[in-house]
Structure 1
Amino acid sequence: MPIVPEPAPVPQKKTAGRDLGAAIGVGVGLGAVIVASLFVQKAVFVGVVAVAVVFGLWELTSRLKERKGINAPLVPLAVGGAAMVVAGYARGPEGAWVATALTALAVLVWRMTEPPDGYLKDVTAGVFAAFYVPFLATFVALMLTADDGDWRVLTFLVLTVVSDTGAYAVGWRFGRHKLAPRISPGKTREGLFGAIGFAMAAGALCMEFLIDGGTWWQGLLLGLAVAVSATLGDLGESMIKRDLGIKDMGTLLPGHGGIMDRLDSLLPTAPVVWLLLVVFVGQG
């Protein structure tokens, strides 16, 4: 009886792991809204940031409650978080710090209306959430206060998106060596190099053509810093999600997950970009 050879295995095609069409559509739509609000009226953009902060806090506190039984008080966080962003824009760093302190105090007091069991873990999580989401977001508002604030914010957004895109594109095509397998198995060292290369190139262009007084070499340094901070931010949220045992923080954005899944690299990058722009070209 003749031996029939087994068919060769069909090579598995790499996939993105998400609905790429939905992800692109939602990403383009969000980008259009953000850029339109940024250049139409600065105050409108501040409102967009505040809304994103409130939704991000809602997702984070909801997941903490569902997965860990931690009841971080949402009401003072949402009100205080929005106030922190507005205060940063209206009153500068001092206003942001005062609003942050008052938000932390409100979290402590609000939680006192409930039984004392779990008080420490609840308020600790609440203060963490206040610093992780709205406080970092206030640096976007601080960027916006400069005379060329809209271009500074656009540079911040472009570099972060380009860094994420470079990491994804290079990692998907050439990724072989895991960057942090215990935290985020999909991230590779090749992807990190892609993020750095793409962000440095974009940084040189943005600093040369968009920022008053900026030069290309400053853009190279800015791009490098953005690639590192964006990657660390992504890994940081991945660490939180692994601890919570979830894949995404929410489902509001088809193809992306939740609001926090889009803010993960933006939040820690905001203070880095704000500081470097102040060092390179001043407060504006």
Structure 2
Amino acid sequence: MKDRALSTLGLWVVVGLVIWVGGFFSVAEQAAFGLLALLVGAAQYEFHQLAARIPGVPRPRPSGIVAGFVLLFALFFLANERARANTALTLGALLFGLHLLALLRRPGEVPALLRRFPTLYGFAYIPFMLASLVAIARMEDGQLLSRQPIGLYYVIWVVVATKFTDVGGLLIGVPFGRHKIAPSISPAKSWEGCAGGLAFSAAASALFAWICVGPLGLPFMTPAKAALMALPLALLSIPSDLAESVFKRLAGAKDSGATIPGIGGALDLIDSLVLTAPTALVLLSYGLDWAKRA
């Protein structure tokens, strides 16, 4: 747990430095996008390695990783088409998200889609689902009082709401977890940890919104609204994490990689965002209109 805590702290420091230094040179959004693209590419590569170890699954082709980068860069730079892109991302993510949820009901069965189309599967699972973060970063015109793009702070809120669910689940679930959620997939996950994750996610989201509403000038998101919108993200981060556990069990692997001490690989780091990123895109697309009226 010590290694995990130190790695988590270090990662938040890296994210903060990337945004702060990028903001100093007026390229915060570009710097954050570069970090996201790097993580997505690394996670997709790790998934390819996992898939190649699953019996009956052909090795995915590198072209899938290239296609993932093309998608992310297209969404980032072709802002004029973002309305259509958001609709396509939402519908596609809904379908693939339902597939991932269904996967949890048969954790020992290799999905037919993965066996037949491993490259496309890896593309859909990682860059397509996480492309919603790019759409969120580009969805709001205007600037904060700190001259940072507004959408970037919405992305940070999504990450805070999602990852602090992991923190709460770990801190509460390890000492108090008695009732397991899915023991055949992830024996460590418990309903007590789930409750702790929800509480930590809501509290961290409210704190982040309070900080941004004040000195940073983030509009339309009060602490109460941020905490409320964090709850569905916290809930979905759990099956999102479990889905990756299914793939690791099918491949006979404990972690997706060994890049980050105490955490594993890039895929282990961002797995919980696979379902929360597209959900956040929907919440922010419609929730901001509600927040403006409320």
Q: Which runs of 4+ in 1 moved over 6 A?
A: none
Bigger shift: residues 223-232 or 185-194: 223-232
Normalising by structure 2, we get a TM-score of 0.76
Gaps of 5+ in 1: 1-19, 102-119
In structure 2, do the counterparts of structure 1 residues 189 and 277 end up closer, same or farther at CA, with 3 Å as the change threshold? same
Task: After TM superposition, list the pairs within 5 Å mapping 1:77-88 onto structure 2.
Answer: 77-88=64-75
1:120-169 C-alpha deviation (Å, 9 max, x unpaired): 86652221111110011111111111241121111111111211111111
Indicate which of 282, 286, 291 corresponds to 1:279: 286
Does the aligned pair in 2 maintain the 1:208–1:216 contact within 8 Å? yes
Bigger shift: residues 89-98 or 51-60: 89-98
Task: After TM superposition, list the pairs within 5 Å mapping 1:1-284 onto structure 2.
Answer: 20-39=1-20, 40=22, 41-68=28-55, 70-91=57-78, 92=82, 94=84, 124-145=117-138, 146=140, 147=142, 148-210=150-212, 211-282=218-289
| Cα RMSD after superposing both structures | 2.5
Q: Secondary structure at the match of 1:182?
A: coil
**Structure with greater Cα Rg:** 1
User: What letter matches 2:65 in structure 1?
Assistant: A
User: What letter matches 2:280 in structure 1?
Assistant: V
CA–CA separation in structure 2 for the residues paired with 1:275 and 1:63: 30
Does the aligned pair in 2 maintain the 1:171–1:191 contact within 8 Å? yes
In structure 2, do the counterparts of structure 1 residues 277 and 206 end up closer, same or farther at CA, with 3 Å as the change threshold? farther
User: What letter matches 1:135 in structure 2?
Assistant: F
Does the aligned pair in 2 maintain the 1:202–1:223 contact within 8 Å? no
Shift of 1:32: 2.1
Does the aligned pair in 2 maintain the 1:160–1:269 contact within 8 Å? yes
Higher relative contact order (CA 8 A, sep 6+): 2
Does the aligned pair in 2 maintain the 1:72–1:123 contact within 8 Å? no
CA–CA separation in structure 1 for the residues paired with 2:14 and 2:203: 25
User: What letter matches 1:233 in structure 2?
Assistant: S
User: What letter matches 2:11 in structure 1?
Assistant: L
CA–CA separation in structure 2 for the residues paired with 1:235 and 1:182: 10
- Number of aligned positions between the proteins: 245
Normalising by structure 1, we get a TM-score of 0.78
User: What letter matches 2:31 in structure 1?
Assistant: V
Identity %: 28
User: What letter matches 2:120 in structure 1?
Assistant: V
